[in-house]
Structure 1
Amino acid sequence: MHRILFRWLVGAVPVVFGVTVLTFVLTSLVPGDPGRTILGANASPAQVKVLDAQLGLDHPLPVRYWDWLTAALHGNLGDSITSGVPVSDQLTSRLGTTLSLIGGAILVAAVAGVALGVLSALKGGWLGRAVDGIALVGLAVPNFWFGLVLMTAFAVRLPLFPVSGYVPFTDSPVQWFESLVLPVLTLGVPATAPVAKQTRDGVLTQLDREYVRVLRARGVPERSVIFRHVLRNAAAPIVTVLGVVVVTLFGGTVLAETLFVMPGLGGLAVTAAQTQDIPTVQGVALVFTVTVMLINLLIEVVYAMLNPKVRT
């Protein structure tokens, strides 16, 4: 386990550094001037130049990145250029929305995907072909189109759920759940496809193994054979696929939060990028990168627990 942690640390540091550098450079190349955005179109060039100097935007790009990096290493992510609010406060206020969205989508993808995969492996026939078809459709259909379909069906024609917005759990657990249903399904249902297909293939592979025939010959109940032995031995590749799905969900939050007008990190990143608010974009990118790296670490740990060969 210590070896896994050490290997993760060795790989995480350059990844986080590379992402912050790339994000800083790409955001700086976005057309426009933050000073002009703040002051408006009627501001004179002299006023814009003075504000850029106050914000430190007149410094060379490497100097500006070094200043940000040294402050970030001391726990200071800076202030938003456009609003003046500390970036850490913005991230804290919006993190709960994004985590609720991703957590719900992971739950949908994992539960529905594993259930469909096991069922199709055991029943076969048309159900197996249906899972293959769902997998292809889920990978091909854009999330934004699926979200619009859900919004039209269950928020406009049948007003069962709110069309936009987010209610914190502390304000109302019921309204919190209702505000998450459509965006969670928008991300979670398409993500079910690869999990279901991997589960089906893994279970079919294990069902052909010798130990399954031995367990059945000994009279072990079929439910125990499937859930205590087959599914456990097929879990390692399923966990790997789930890890890939989780990483893609972070990119999907930008779309879902924009489509359903949710105050999350994805929407914050879009707004900040449009105004060249580099400290805010850097903060969001840093949170996303560290979270993804922690998820990769968790996947490696779980994979090692499921596969003794990895531990040795």
Structure 2
Amino acid sequence: MKGAAGVLLMLVGASLIIFLAANALPGDPAAVMLGTAARPDTLAALRLELGLDRPILLRWLEWLGDALRGDLGRSLTYGTPVSVLVGARLALTLPLAFLGFLLAAAIGLGLGLLSARRPGGWLDRLTTIATQAGTAVPAFVVGLCLVLLASRSTAWPTGGFPGWQDGFLPALQSLALPTLALALPQGMVLARVARAALMDVGSEDYMRTARAKGLSRGQALRRHALPNSLVAVATVMGLQFSFLVGGAVLVETVFALPGLGQLAVQSLQNRDLVTLQAVALLLVATVIGVNALVDFALGRLDPRWGERP
């Protein structure tokens, strides 16, 4: 109950910050909808219809209450329910983030195991250099580099999304480069964490016993060290999914994908506060929810996790 209450309080606090920040943006939504040539009385009537003349805290409470019931309002730009717009964009953003998560996990755990097999060797040094470089480059910069490289060939699309209804393989191919752009930086971060965790448990007595029984260092790492490193690795992996969802917004812009990122940018340009608030709240709720699930999972993996100071 304490954990659920904490999550709810964080969501309420985040919704207040999002609402205040969105309404502090310059510009008048009514003026954007009607144009600069609109008459003052027409603007006043529209502001009254949209409820923009009421106190901001009252409007926040009404918006929060509707959001808790699943009603995110109606888009000022498109005139359709925001839940419909967001649902359609999530069909792209969530698969992109999930694919990036899987690829980042494969890259991170694979490089971490290879590096920990022979500490100080040439492969370990090469991996260390690659991970340091990879963690310093943001996902959208990686995306721009991939677009430049892929533009020399017609094998991989560098922008746009055909839609899942047009075929699974074409849609998956259009997500290949964005997924790689998302996964590479996070995979390098995970590789460093995995190597450090494997090195920590590599000197334990049970590892020496496993080696004495005839297992190679690589086998001992996979069978014994990796399972005992899951707490540290799973912590980072859980946080990474939150970063991947947020990073997908920027990567979608680079690759012109019609996901939540494009919807957020269009809402900001059109001063569509209703849609912008909903997208921001959804992203924040995803981060908070994933972190809560990670805490729960880590408590299952290690009962001492819940007793940490």
TM range (shorter): over 0.9
Of 42, 46, 55, which residue of structure 2 is paired with 1:51?
Answer: 46
246-255 or 41-50, which deviates more: 41-50
Tell me if 1:248 matches 2:243. yes
Alignment match, 2:85 = 90
1:224 Cα deviation (Å)? Answer: 4.5
1:98 Cα deviation (Å)? Answer: 0.7
Deviation by residue 1:113-139 (Cα, 9 ceiling, x = unmatched): 100010011033122222222222122
C-alpha contact (below 8 Å) 1:186/1:256 kept by paired residues: yes
Tell me if 1:117 matches 2:112. yes
Partner SS for 2:162: coil
Give unmatched runs, 5+ long, in structure 2. none
Q: How does 1:217-228 map to 2 (within 5 A)?
A: 217-220=212-215, 224-228=219-223
Alignment match, 2:142 = 146
Which residue identity is paired with 1:285?
Answer: A
Alignment match, 2:8 = 13
Q: CA RMSD in A?
A: 1.8
Deviation by residue 1:122-163 (Cα, 9 ceiling, x = unmatched): 033122222222222122223222211100111x11122112
Which residue identity is paired with 2:138?
Answer: P
Cα distance in 2 for partners of 1:274, 1:206 equals 51
Cα distance in 1 for partners of 2:242, 2:21 equals 21
Of 267, 275, 279, which residue of structure 2 is paired with 1:280?
Answer: 275
Closer, same or farther: CA 161–192 of 1 in aligned 2, 3 Å: same
Q: How does 1:255-270 map to 2 (within 5 A)?
A: 255-270=250-265
Deviation by residue 1:212-237 (Cα, 9 ceiling, x = unmatched): 11122233565552222110001110
Of 16, 20, 23, which residue of structure 1 is paired with 2:18?
Answer: 23
Tell me if 1:78 matches 2:73. yes
C-alpha contact (below 8 Å) 1:27/1:276 kept by paired residues: no
1:199 Cα deviation (Å)? Answer: 0.7
164-173 or 21-30, which deviates more: 164-173
Deviation by residue 1:38-66 (Cα, 9 ceiling, x = unmatched): 11222223322221221111222112112
Alignment match, 1:3 = none
Alignment length, in residue pairs? 306
266-275 or 118-127, which deviates more: 266-275
Alignment match, 1:289 = 284
Cα distance in 1 for partners of 2:304, 2:58 equals 47
Cα distance in 2 for partners of 1:304, 1:196 equals 23
Of 169, 173, 176, which residue of structure 1 is paired with 2:164?
Answer: 169
Alignment match, 1:181 = 176
Which residue identity is paired with 1:14?
Answer: L
Cα distance in 2 for partners of 1:139, 1:224 equals 28
- Percent identity reads 36
Cα distance in 1 for partners of 2:215, 2:303 equals 24
Cα distance in 1 for partners of 2:113, 2:189 equals 13
**TM-score (normalizing by structure 1):** 0.92
Cα distance in 1 for partners of 2:36, 2:165 equals 41
Give unmatched runs, 5+ long, in structure 1. 1-5
Which residue identity is paired with 2:128?
Answer: D
Tell me if 1:208 matches 2:203. yes
Closer, same or farther: CA 31–41 of 1 in aligned 2, 3 Å: same
Partner SS for 1:157: coil
Tell me if 1:238 matches 2:233. yes
Which residue identity is paired with 1:286?
Answer: L
C-alpha contact (below 8 Å) 2:113/2:218 kept by paired residues: no
Closer, same or farther: CA 77–301 of 1 in aligned 2, 3 Å: same
**TM-score (normalizing by structure 2):** 0.93
C-alpha contact (below 8 Å) 1:117/1:200 kept by paired residues: yes
C-alpha contact (below 8 Å) 1:19/1:285 kept by paired residues: no
Cα distance in 1 for partners of 2:64, 2:141 equals 39
C-alpha contact (below 8 Å) 1:135/1:196 kept by paired residues: yes
Cα distance in 2 for partners of 1:183, 1:218 equals 45
Cα distance in 2 for partners of 1:220, 1:187 equals 36
Partner SS for 2:6: helix
Closer, same or farther: CA 223–200 of 1 in aligned 2, 3 Å: closer
